[in-house]
Structure 1
Amino acid sequence: MATDIQIVQEDVAGRSDSKIMHFSGSLDATNIQAVSDQIISLLNDSGVVNIIADFEQLKYLNSTALGNIIDYNKRVVQKGGKFILAAVNENVFEIFDIVGATSILNFQDTIDDAINSL
């Protein structure tokens, strides 16, 4: 049974090379392919090189999703951009921390902090 994930894209004011993606719901093996398709399309077709992933409303992610997030980071960095995880709620951050991903991914406390770090 597929779990729900909603993603709303938002432009970053004054930055045509950047997008904010607001995630809500759960990110797992049942929906990660659709999310991956959306992110890869954004990177390949729109001139976007910076992505801010707003995880404030993301309630859960599994190991498959975590691996994909690390892959998105790699793709963005290869394009000369930044992949930033912003406003990550405590439960989701704990998952990143347990597997050691906090040392390889860029985390910011707020969306404003993420925008200012571009």
Structure 2
Amino acid sequence: MAQVVVVEDDGDIATLVAHKLRSDGHDVVVEHDGQAGLAAVRQLRPSLVVLDWMMPRMSGLEVCQAIRDDPELAGTRVLMLTAKAQEADLERAFAVGADEFLLKPFSPRELVLRANALLARVGGPGTA
């Protein structure tokens, strides 16, 4: 299936997300802070990044913006995870280039469904 990088500082959530995506056939790499996550994305060039918003060293928004600013990564799909439920937060995530947004707590099945929907979108990675 697809190469996925999960960037999540909460170990339990990272383990859950990775397990569910691996069970669905994806190759998953997990990082626990924004800088390490961005380095993994640059090295691996995944099809999808599952990205927490609030992380040490570099926020998910900053990582997403860095992905979009890099011509070699700009097409990478980004699924943001966050507990931030305000409409303004949703707007900020989409403004920096997130393809999808999932609120915590989330259904693991919904995560897999949304990830697969992003990966299946017509037009290649990073396009709506």
Structure number with the higher strand fraction is 1
